Structure 1
Amino acid sequence: MSQTAPPESGATAPSRLRAAGAFLRRYVALHPVSVGTAVAVLSAAAATGALFNSDAAFVWGAGPLATFASGRWWTVFTALVVPDSAVDAVSSVLLALTVLAYSERLLGSRRTAALLAVTGVAGLLVGIGLHAAAWTLTDLRPVVAAEVPVLDPTTPIAGAVMAASAFATTLWRRRLRLVGFALLALFALYAGDADSWYRLTAAAIGLVVGAVLARGRERRSWHRSSTREIRTLLALLAAVVASGPIVALVSGGGRGPLSLVVDAYTQYDDELLAQCGSVAASVCDEQVALLMTRGAGPALLAITPLVLLLVAAWGLRQGRRAAWIVAVFVLVASAVLPVVSLADGRLRIDPWVDGSGAEYVLWAIASIVIPLALAAALIVARRRFSVRATRQAARSVAVVVTLAFLACATTLFTIEAVGRRAFDRDVSALELIELTLRRFLPPAFTHPGGATAFPHSGPALFAYQWVGVLFWAIVVASILWLYRRVQRPEGDGDARYRHLLRRGSDTLGFLGTWDGNRHWYSDDAECAVAYRLVGDVALAVADPLAPAGRRPEALRGFTDFCVEHGWTPAFYSIHADTLDDLVDLGWRHVPVGVETVMDLPGLTFAGKTWQKVRQPLTRAEREGYTAVWSRWHELSVAQASQVVAIDEEWVADRALPEMGFTLGSLDELKDRDVRLLLAVGPDQRIEAVTSWMPSWTDGEITGWTLDFMRRRTDGPNGMMEFLIAKAALQLQDEGAVVLSLSGAPLADDPDEPADGDPAPLRALLRRLAEVLEPAYGFASLFRFKGKFRPRYRPLALAYRDPLELPAIGAAVGRAYLPDASRHEMVALARTAWEGRR
């Protein structure tokens, strides 16, 4: 019997303490090295006084002078344990108890301890060597002074984690490496402190060591990501590009090779200010103006582009088109502005003392190449960001932003005009207008020349500093509000369509609720057809919803509707009853798949014919696996994370992106009408997940259709047989009469003779099936479903005119692979060729 974990209730304080104690004992037993590392860091911090006085701990630090010139060889080891501050101690302990603990589970305790020592010491030695060479050979900005010792317990942690990534699953290997190196590179390239470079060096060594240790293990491709994961990774890159200059600003301007970009986000130019004794008075007036009007307001205005990019990164993770527009605009503007400033002489970069001109290269990379490269990546992946706001919301934001600008500009101009005495000289109305407009742009985007009027005190100075910040705060709030006003495609959660579904629907009718489908309704709203518009082809999905006797009327009405709009109608994945009505109307047809259906009344898994199902079911139950029913909104955070990880692992193992149209993905699981059945092991690890869509008769649920099927690649065999068998038995007890294992796209009915002279579209679909088989395994999935002795229901595609077949065939291919690029289609062809050899 399937089980649902009951919530704990009535727990007493002693029982909670016992449970917490048991958890801690189990955690320590599983992660002795991680816990030991955390204890060692805290003990070293307390013993050396680093928690209260960071200067007292530097005697234990490592560096070119501290380790070699002073002969303190032991600092190579103490620098890996002693933190340099309380913040460093806390962050090291947190990392040890989280990511290092995860790495210990992958590597084992002995390997983790060894790798902490090896990668930590190696990272320090190599880092110190490179540090000394860079410091002595040339006057490089990217390195901190060699006499400053380094204390950093996160250095060995970085090395061990990157070594462990070689043993992680595809999804987490990618996440550990991309996120880890992005963060490490962020601090190294922008802040540029020596410990950032040592940490990055240890991580690189750990990556190589992990690859050597993992030789001989089965390797899976990791370049493939789902749309959701691509959005997350691009959002991460946008956040890193935005956070880099902020890190450099917080660290005092930064010493990293890319910290030169920070000059575009400062309130004033220190170098010009220092030269006021020898340069033109007008330039000095401008710099003094910027200096006197500095403060929190101008500082926030200066980093407005970075804030907008961070806000865009948040929206990119959610697939928002508005975020994509903001990100591309800010990145392109940030790259073009330095070029314009350099061309007109407002920006000057001097080569270093050695005349190498390396500073030009670093400045170009930081200010131009990185933003343009990220903007290009976003443009290439633009179809991944298709979640649009409603038109009403977009209009509302446009109105709010416009009114906010007019109100802020009018207020600033009025206050400046009334408070003219606060200026250092008389200003004209034209100068006040120019000054007003400039206060809405970051200083890097204005670069005014000549003398600049500015207020010295009073309300005029306050408005001068804060009105621009207020306007951009309204813009940011408007963008965040816009993210929440999503334009739902017609049919996604459509109340009328769902009402008709509940009145009565076939096993595949729920497909019509999916994202991307539209709906046609009859004049009295009693008939409906769900369809997918691909180019000028309207692909109706599954059978129409219509009362008894009105299906032909619905078919004619939808056809007329398509003709009126200039579309080519086609009915895809329809059953025999609908096909007979279309044949009566003069339509032609071709088989496109087979649905496998189990009739639940009287079903038992007894007898020799059910042996292939009964054995996995019995074995899984004997080993302590349970089938847990749930819905997406009922999952805990840990359970949802496991489901996402299983799905990403499956996607990463494919040479092509996820297919759509009649094949559900993770997004379809979140519908509240969809039930999930999870295979949960004795250790509460989810091994497999399936989703089930309902079908109704006279308002009652009488059937369920299998859609989503995923299992862990490293999990036990037989989990899918276990879940389907459990679902059949449980749903039978609930009164369901039909369990559909869904359609097998492009499959042939084994009970029907093969067509010896297929129509052109049939030949095309068969060829498509052959090409997709190595990548997606439709045929093997169809054979798997045959274990359950199903009843086969042919699915057909109906069309009116053979001349429309090329367009319909192309539409079907594009509907299944909407995000496939040319490169991916080449990968598909290569996969098909390799599968045929």
Structure 2
Amino acid sequence: MSETAPPAPAAVMPSRLRAVGAFLRVYLARNPVAVCTAVLVLAAAAATGSLWNGDGAFVWGAGPLTTFAGGRWWTVLTALVVPDSAVDALVSALLALTVLAYGERLLGSRRTAALLAVTGVAGLLVGIGLHAAAWTLTDLRPVVAAEVPVLDPTTPIAGTVMAASAFATTLWRRRLRLVGFALLALFALYAGDADSWYRLTAAGIGLVGGALLARGRERRSWHRSSTREARTLLALLVAVVGSGPIVALVSGGGRGPLSLVVDAYTQYDDALLARCGTVAASVCDEQVALLMTRGAGPALLAVTPLVLLLVAAWGLRQGRRAAWIVAVFVLVASAVLPLVSLANGRLRIDPWVDGSGAEYVLWALASVGIPLALTSALVIARRRFSVRSTPRAARAVAVTLTTAFLLCATTLFVVEAIGKRAFDRDVSVLDLLGVTLRRFLPPSFTHPGGSTAFPHSGPALFAYQWVGVLFWAIVVAAILWLYRRVQRPDAGDAGRYRELLHRGSDTLGFLGTWEGNRHWYSDDGECAVAYRLVGDVALAVADPLAPAGRRPEAVRGYTDFCVEHGWIPAFYSVHADTLDDLVEAGWLHVPVGVETVMDLPGLTFAGKSWQKVRQPLTRAEREGFTAVWSRWHELSVAQASQVVAIDEEWVADRALPEMGFTLGSLDELRDRDVRLLLAVGPDDRIEAVTSWMPSWTDGEITGWTLDFMRRRSDGPNGMMEFLIAKAALHLQAEGATVLSLSGAPLADDPGETADEDPAPLRALLRWLAEVLEPAYGFASLFRFKGKFRPRYRPLALAYRDPLQLPGIGAAVGRAYLPDASRREMVALAKTAWEGRR
């Protein structure tokens, strides 16, 4: 360990600036059109003054009156680059630098530039034409946006990105189209402004154009679970239904065809209050009460159903049964209560001026039809949401919510009773009880008969506004907590896994027998995958066990199994053959280590190239050391005590406990299939110990894999070289063909060229290797194994979705250090810093 001081801050800053400069140069070279688009939008905003005064820039906007009637044909072009506000300029520039840049990498710069112009102009022309046609229909006038010129640089971006989706992988193609059109339709149907419809039109044109450009292009198949598709689609639909009214509220009530539903999520009804001279007094009393007690608390209470739908959407994506129950309950209530209000006369809908009653159709569609249709879809797909919480967690939530309701209701009742003078009239106990119960429901869900009592000031008003919000906040927190308390399937039949190992396994297959691993089996029991469940990530350990030709089937079956339980599947430490099958199925991968393998047939330690192994072997034999084969249950008490002492000494020298996952400890030595090789001195003292795991071919042991390696810190050098050389010669004589020195975790193949732009997960794993190196010496261990002139077999981690990389990376770290405390992690950080000095 050198004592050189860390670099001074002044020296670090230029290197960081150079790194940022290099990144910007690479980004500009890859995405010139996206960068130019962002610059053009910002420059146009500054030149036209829309950065500080959006109203003055509408002269550049497009629309039926300005473009067609006014003869300003150039607005079809200017409307695509001039934003209508500073916010629009920043959003457009950000979208250009992100999603448009991704589309440019798929399409190429020339196609991207052409599609920006084509889809933007075509989207505006078609959108303006449809806008003008809709305005001529009297029935649609109230929901067609007012004639205001449109300025929207995101219109060509939407069209280009949808066109680029045709060239994306199956995962991203589906993601871009599903999420993109859901968001575009959300704003069009609820907010209803003209630019939302123009964007949607451009996106549709881009989708068709992309399909034409990609015609005849070879598509890589990707096996994806229908369960996952159903969950994702239904979760997205629930999220749209939940966030749509919020979009309409934020946009001032909205003018889209579905914006009429927003009335159910407001604190009070302005139109109804304006007509209070001609409607029932009880409804007016209720609306006056809502008006007089408005505020942040009632506003939050009003949108509680929407918040619950968004929380349910999050759980539906993961297959949670609790989320399914919440979604169905809220959707049914949202559909039934408006019908009840319409039936008892407390909700009135006036036909438009022509008496056509089209408003009834739109209201029924938005308020009743969509929730019931979505409820029906959830009921039909209910088996897709089978991830249940543990009974203990469900009971805990039930008790918590019951207790919270009783405490909140009692508190509200007592405060209202003490502050009765704050009410507008004398209230009885029954009145207070009715007020208490109604404050736990959104205003649109409570339509009491007769006059409504309410407090005007003081603690009574504060409790009236906020107690219901507090209760629902507890409900939301309890639901999110319940999502994480999931029933786990049993670990599977470990004995069956060993039987399949004996049939045939690779060098690392025995890792699947270790404690903490679970096992998945195919329906016929002929295929198996050992996996480690860390949170919601299922890390498959080593290669699947499967008969010849059935490995792709095993991969699909295991993936479906993980999706069914709401887990993120990943394969850790797989070899090239398995990786090829995964890549063929559309998986991505990153290297996570290298296995070093010695081929035993014809092995001798003769020649100069073996000098670094032959010298320790010869010296140890000359000094009287012997290599003793044994198994744990065959060790004497004295021998077992020495092995334990050697291990404890090794652990004590490190800031963290022994690592797990693919690195064995004393617990794994106790397996009766594992052999031990001890270096014993002339005085019968054990100086070093190694363990060897078997691998089979057609029921016969054909290979052994090194796992446990420990030696005394005060013992002679060369003991590990001595034991490995002895093991190779002895196992060769027994007929073994392969001796694996196991994988070096987080190491790179010496023959592999490092990526200039590594994947995020690879960068994380490299960082983890650097941090752990001072404590565990992975790199030095890898170099040590290189003495034996091994054959290198790269090991990879395969994953399906890049967005899941942070969770997978965290799971890998936790799998290796499952018992590390915060204090030990701080010690690790200190060790890492000292190791860099």
Which band: TM-score by shorter chain?
0.5 to 0.7
Match of 1:140 in 2: 141
Residue 573 (structure 2) aligns with = 675
Query: Match of 1:185, as an amino acid?
Result: A
Other structure's SS at 2:432 match:
helix
2:238–2:374 Cα contact (<8 Å) kept:
yes
- Which of 518, 532, 557 is matched with 1:659 structurally? 557
Q: Sort the Cα spacing of 1:671 and 1:34 in 2 relative to 1 into closer, same or farther, 3 A.
A: closer
The residue type equivalent to 2:394 in the other structure is A
* Structure 2 letter corresponding to 1:14: P
- TM-score using structure 1 length: 0.62
1:173-192 map, 5 Å? 173-192=173-192
Correspondence 1:18-33 to 2 at 5 A: 18-33=18-33
The equivalent of 1:89 in structure 2 is: 89
Could you tell me how far 1:215 is from its partner in structure 2?
A: 2.1
Contact 2:674 2:694 in 1 (8 A): no
Contact 1:100/1:161 (CA < 8 Å) preserved in 2? yes
2:461 aligned residue: 461
Shift of 1:488: 1.9
Segments of 5+ residues of structure 1 without an aligned counterpart are 1-7, 518-529, 533-540, 543-570, 574-591, 597-629, 641-653, 707-729, 737-837
- 1:657 Cα deviation after fit: 11
Q: RMSD across aligned C-alpha pairs, in angstroms?
A: 4.2
The number of residues matched between the two structures is: 579
Query: Aligned partner of 1:418: which letter?
Result: I
Q: What is the one-letter code of the residue matched to 1:659? A: G
Q: Which residue of 2 aligns with 1:79?
A: 79
**Aligned equivalents of 1:393, 1:459: Cα separation in 2:** 35
Aligned to 1:421: 421
For 2:136 and 2:484, locate their aligned partners in 1 and report how far apart those are by CA, in whole Å.
55
How far off is 1:125 after superposition?
1.1
Deviations 1:365-385 (A, max 9, x none): 211222222222222332332
The residue type equivalent to 1:734 in the other structure is: L
CA distance in 1, matches of 2:738, 2:563: 23
- Equivalent in the alignment of 1:345: 345
Which SS does the other structure have where 1:734 is aligned?
strand
**Distance in 2 between the 1:125 and 1:199 partners?**
11
- Following superposition, the deviation at residue 208 of structure 1 comes to 1.4
CA distance in 1, matches of 2:98, 2:451: 56
Partner of 1:624: none
Q: CA shift at 1:80, angstroms?
A: 0.4
What are the superposed Cα offsets for residues 710-741 of structure 1, whole Å, 9 maximum, x if unpaired?
xxxxxxxxxxxxxxxxxxxx9954259xxxxx
Query: Structure 2 counterpart of 1:130, which letter?
Result: L
Comparing 655-664 with 290-299, greater Cα deviation is found at 655-664
Instruction: Say if 1:656 and 1:99 are closer, same or farther in 2 by CA, change over 3 A.
Output: farther
- 2:145 is aligned with what amino acid? V
State the partner residue of 1:702: 693
Instruction: Check whether the contact 2:100–2:160 (CA below 8 A) recurs between aligned residues.
Output: yes
Question: Matched residues in 2 for 1:335 and 1:705: separation?
Answer: 62
The secondary structure found in structure 1 opposite 2:557 is coil
The residue aligned with 1:582 is none
- TM-aligned CA deviation for residue 126 of structure 1: 1.2
Per the alignment, residue 209 of structure 1 pairs with 209
Provide closer, same or farther for how the CA distance between residues 341 and 283 of structure 1 changes in structure 2, counting only shifts above 3 A.
closer
1:552-567 correspondence to structure 2 within 5 Å = none
In structure 2, the CA distance between the partners of 1:79 and 1:349, relative to structure 1 (3 Å rule), is same
Q: CA deviation at 1:141?
A: 2.6
Aligned position for 1:370: 370
2:175 maps to amino acid: R
1:702 partner amino acid: M
1:224-623 alignment runs, 5 A limit: 225-491=225-491, 507=505, 573=525
Distance in 1 separating the partners of 2:28 and 2:238 = 38
- The 1:437/1:669 distance shift into structure 2, 3 A limit, reads closer
1:811 is matched with none
SS of the equivalent of 1:448 reads coil
Superposed displacement of residue 473, structure 1: 0.7
Matched, 1:734 2:741: yes
Aligned to 2:162: 162
Q: In 2, are the aligned partners of 1:633 and 1:672 still within 8 Å (CA)? A: no
**Residue type of the partner of 1:160?**
T
- Structure 2: how far apart are the matches of 1:470 and 1:191? 30
Q: Retained in 1: the 8 A contact 2:562–2:568?
A: no
SS of corresponding position for 1:329: helix
Over 3 Å counting, the alpha-carbon distance change for 1:84 and 1:102 in structure 2 is same
Q: Distance in 1 between matches of 2:32 and 2:323?
A: 44
C-alpha contact (below 8 Å) 2:190/2:245 kept by paired residues: yes
Contact 1:174 1:222 in 2 (8 A): no
- Could you give the per-residue CA deviations for residues 612-636 of structure 1, whole angstroms, max 9, x where no partner exists? xxxxxxxxxxxxxxxxxx99999xx
Check whether the contact 2:227–2:563 (CA below 8 A) recurs between aligned residues.
no
1:345 shift after superposition: 2.7
Query: 1:96 offset after TM fit, Å?
Result: 0.8
Shift of 1:486: 2.1
Per-residue deviation, 1:510: 7.3
- 1:468 shift after superposition: 0.7
- Check the 8 A contact 2:455/2:461 in 1, yes or no: yes
Q: Which amino acid in structure 2 is aligned with residue 442 of structure 1?
A: P
What whole-Å deviation, never above 9, does each CA across 1:742-769 have from its counterpart, x for those lacking one? xxxxxxxxxxxxxxxxxxxxxxxxxxxx
Aligned-pair distance for 1:103?
1.1
Measure the CA separation in 1 of the matches of 2:136 and 2:554: 50
Preserved contact between residue 106 and residue 168 of structure 1 (Cα < 8 Å): yes
One-letter amino acid of the counterpart of residue 360, structure 1: Y
CA distance in structure 2 between the aligned counterparts of 1:435 and 1:107, rounded to whole angstroms: 61
Whole-angstrom distance in 2 between the partners of 1:171 and 1:19 = 31
SS in 2 for 1:252: coil
**CA distance, structure 2, for counterparts of residue 359 and residue 180 of structure 1:** 28
Which region of structure 1 is more displaced relative to structure 2, 225-234 or 113-122?
A: 225-234
Report the Cα offset of residue 677 of structure 1. Answer: 5.4
Letter in 2 for 1:145: A
SS of 1:353's partner is coil
Distance 2:554 2:260 in 1: 40
CA contact (8 A) 1:423 1:455 kept: yes
User: Against the structure 1 CA distance between its residues 354 and 688, is the aligned structure 2 distance closer, same or farther, given a 3 Å change threshold?
Assistant: same
Q: 1:668 to 1:374 in 2, by over 3 A?
A: closer
Q: 1:292 to 1:633 in 2, by over 3 A?
A: same
Q: Which one-letter code corresponds to 1:270 in the other structure?
A: D
TM-score normalised by structure 2 residue count? 0.62
**1:184, 1:199 within 8 Å by CA — same for their partners in 2?**
yes
Q: Distance in 2 between matches of 1:202 and 1:86?
A: 23
Q: Which runs of 5+ in 2 are unaligned?
A: 1-6, 540-551, 581-585, 596-660, 663-667, 676-690, 698-736, 744-837
Contact 1:308 / 1:326 at 8 angstroms: preserved in 2? yes
Kindly indicate whether the alpha-carbon contact (under 8 Å) linking 1:491 and 1:514 is maintained by their aligned counterparts in 2.
no
**Counterpart for residue 129 of structure 2:** 129
SS in 1 for 2:136: helix
Q: Report the alpha carbon displacement of residue 101 of structure 1 after superposing the two structures with TM.
A: 1.1
Deviation of 1:72 (Å): 2.1
Q: Deviations over 1:117-160 (max 9, x none)?
A: 011011111111111222233252332211x1111000000011
- Going from structure 1 to structure 2, the CA distance change for 1:256 and 1:572 (only over 3 Å counts) comes to closer
Output the CA distance in 1 between the equivalents of 2:416 and 2:119.
61
Structure 2 distance, partners of 1:672, 1:113, is: 38
Report the alpha carbon displacement of residue 419 of structure 1 after superposing the two structures with TM: 1.1
Q: Indicate if the aligned counterparts of 2:386 and 2:564 stay in contact, CA closer than 8 A.
A: no
**Structure 1 residue 90, shift from structure 2 partner:** 1.3
Aligned partners of 1:226 and 1:657 also within 8 Å = no
CA offsets per residue over residues 618-659 of structure 1, 9 Å max, x none?
Answer: xxxxxxxxxxxx99999xx9xx9xxxxxxxxxxxxx999942
Q: Letter of the aligned partner of 1:35 in structure 2?
A: V
Q: How far apart in 2 are the matches of 1:318 and 1:9?
A: 48
Q: Matches of 1:218 and 1:267 in 2, distance apart?
A: 54
